[in-house]
Structure 1
Amino acid sequence: MNIDDLIIKYGLTIGRRFTRKEKNFFCNEIGKDFQALGYSVRGAMGKKKRTKGMNLMIGNVGKAKTIFVAHYDTLNHDFGNPIRYFPLDGNASFSSSFLPMNTPAILSMVLGLILLLGLGRRINFKDNLVMSVLILAVLIVLIVVSFMMTFRIGNKVNLNRNTSGVITAYLIAQQLPKKLRDQVAFVLTDGGNGTHVGDYMLRDALPNTIKDRNVIILDCVGKGPRLGIGYFEASKGNAEKLEAIVKHQDEEAKLHMSLVDEDHVKYTSLSFYEKGMIVCRGKNMNGSLIVENTATNHDDEVEREKIEALAKDLTELAKQIS
């Protein structure tokens, strides 16, 4: 499939992967598409306490020197102010998303307090059973509605986060020469937006060797003037090679290179992989790389040429490090 086919299928037709049914359908469809390229595909359940998630392991993950990781799950809808996502700074992302994602719950608490303090002082609940029941019912409705709006309504349009990473992974798999297919694998993970059940699964599947694997996370790579590359000291060599490849193809390319530490990657998938590297796109804001419009219906655009160019560059990187 070409990139237009992929965008239509995984960005529009199966553009929301929020419920278990939606995720299972996606895994079944994309699993068949990778199999059509000649790769082995198997599902792997990830667990974190009571949370479970299905992940896809594509290729020989146990043997591969290089593993591309892309989250496939999509976010719940943001009813608050637009989230500013910082893929290279987990703390900033957490702080930026907390208020917007919890706006319904906060508003319901405020309305509930107004209801109780405003009417509660004027009503004798012992003598007015009907009003007491009515106020209680309103409070329950507020709680249920706020819970649904915060946790149970999936965002409909998710072209950049997290469809662009999935598409890039497929394009790399499509371009890889057959002699490298035992050395390069792909993992599509669930829980990339919070629980990280896919990252737990991959780390637990390779407990003794994950620290030595070249793990490359594809996160929001579909739109933005700057290509972000976040890396640890252990993966600095790989990051510099990718930088050289990108610059060789486009001397005017704008890159945002970021050597990260444990504090930067808190709450992120990169924290699971000692030799990991994250690739993303966005724009500069006060020295940080940000991605806008995620978890809203404005996440409806990706730059096809940039995705194709990145897939080509990452394929070349895989050839060099695998």
Structure 2
Amino acid sequence: MNLDEFVVKYAVLLSKRITMKQKKLFLSAVHQDFGALGYEVKGITEKRKGRISLNIQIGDVLHAKTLIIAPYDMPGRRFFSKGYHPFREEDNILLKLLSENAITLGIIVVAIGAYWLTSNINPILSYVILGFFTALILITTIVFPLGLTCNYTANKNNSSLAVMLKMAENLKAQSDIAFVLMDHVYLNHHGELMLSTLLSKKKSNPLIIYLDCVGYGDAAIISGSQENQALAKHLVSLADETLRFETKTYDHNEILSSALNRFPKSLNISVGHLVGKHWSVLKVRTSKDTEISETVVSAVTGVLLNGLINK
């Protein structure tokens, strides 16, 4: 499958992954593509706080020496975003609250207007309207916990899958490398918790490579704890001139206060734009996230294959 076919299949036809039916269609497609390469693919479900999460395991997850993992669920949309920083919690809490509550704020404005117009005409009707809009706000909060979902996710949650599939085509079902696609990472990190709990119960301690936004940009950042920096630097040394690779070390407090605390010993890879010391991933979680670069995907895949197979 070439990249154009991949984008049409996963970033267009199978881009919606909200309902369980949509996620099972996505699982079926993943099973078809990885199964054809000799991999066992299975879905693992678990319920938490009234919502069922579906993680997708590709290969022998419990016995693999290396796991390549990434989220696949749909993130909430961000308005007025100036860039996304993978593996970190929200940089701008006000922007997060505004984006996640945009629908609710709109309903409140309409409710106030409707209440004001009817209160002078029919007080009883105004209270009925107030009750109606209150119920509507509650329903909206339950149905859209992250606000409006972003329907454009080429880089955000499909580029990692593109790298995984390209790796799988070269690995030919080698048992020491497996893949996991995680659900509800953006909502409550449930997919991450499912995987970390599974590995802990089975006393499995593989090297974890966490991918997020690896399809567009001019600089790849390989980040992680101090103990993994030797491998991070080794991977950087394998990069060719098509894509710049840099390393970043997180201290203990940074790991605990971010999304990294689910997998504190993982290596995390993202591709974005580096201007001076400021690095971020542009366009994601907006309507502009519509492209994946073949050059970038190939560069990330090549570094991982060379580094993991020959380490």
The TM-score range, normalised by the shorter chain, is: 0.7 to 0.9
> Percent identity among equivalent residues?
23
1:5 & 1:33 partners in 2: Cα distance?
A: 12
Structure 2 equivalent of residue 100 of structure 1: 99
Give the aligned partner of residue 218 of structure 1: 211
**Partner SS, residue 175 of structure 2:** coil
Q: Deviation per CA, 1:49-83, whole angstroms, max 9, x where unpaired?
A: 433211111111111111000211112444x3337
Q: How does 1:186-265 map to 2 (within 5 A)?
A: 186-207=179-200, 212-246=205-239, 249-250=240-241, 253-265=243-255
Task: For 1:210 and 1:234, locate their aligned partners in 2 and report how far apart those are by CA, in whole Å.
Answer: 20
The answer as to whether partners of 2:223 and 2:269 remain within 8 angstroms in 1 is: yes
CA distance in 1, matches of 2:104, 2:57: 37
**What SS class does the counterpart of residue 193 from structure 1 fall into?**
helix
The aligned residue for residue 157 of structure 2 is 162
Q: Deviations over 1:190-231 (max 9, x none)?
A: 112132222112112211677732100110111112112111
Amino acid at match of 2:43: G
1:273 to 260, 263, 267: 263
**1:296 corresponding residue in structure 2:** 286
What runs of 5+ residues in structure 2 fail to find an aligned partner? none
Aligned counterparts of 1:278 and 1:218: Cα–Cα separation in 2: 6
**CA 1:119–1:165: 2 relative to 1, 3 Å:** same
* 1:129-184 deviation digits (Å, cap 9, x = unpaired): 23332444355446656765664753322101101111111111111255xx1111
Task: Report the residue type matching 1:313 in the other structure.
Answer: V
Query: 107-116 vs 47-56, which deviates more?
Result: 107-116
What is the total number of aligned residue pairs between the two structures?
Answer: 311
Residue equivalent to 2:36: 36
User: What are the residue-to-residue correspondences of 1:39-50 with 2, within 5 Å?
Assistant: 39-50=39-50
Q: CA deviation at 1:279?
A: 0.6
Matches of 1:81 and 1:210, distance apart in 2:
43
Counterpart of 1:19 in structure 2: which amino acid? T
User: Which residues of 2 match residues 56-205 of structure 1 at below 5 A?
Assistant: 56-78=56-78, 80-82=79-81, 84-92=83-91, 96-109=95-108, 112=111, 123=120, 128-141=123-136, 144=139, 151=146, 153-176=148-171, 181-205=174-198
Q: Using the TM superposition, give the Cα deviation of residue 244 of structure 1 relative to its aligned residue in structure 2, in angstroms.
A: 0.8
Structure 2 vs 1, CA of residues 28 and 284 (structure 1 numbering), >3 Å: closer, same or farther?
A: same
Once residues 243 and 4 of structure 2 are traced to their aligned partners in structure 1, the CA distance between those partners, rounded to angstroms, is 24
* TM-score, normalised relative to structure 2: 0.86
Q: Tell me the equivalent position of 1:316.
A: 306
Q: Is the 8 A contact 1:68 1:186 kept in 2?
A: yes
RMSD over aligned CA atoms reads 3.0
Instruction: Name the SS for the 1:313 alignment partner.
Output: helix
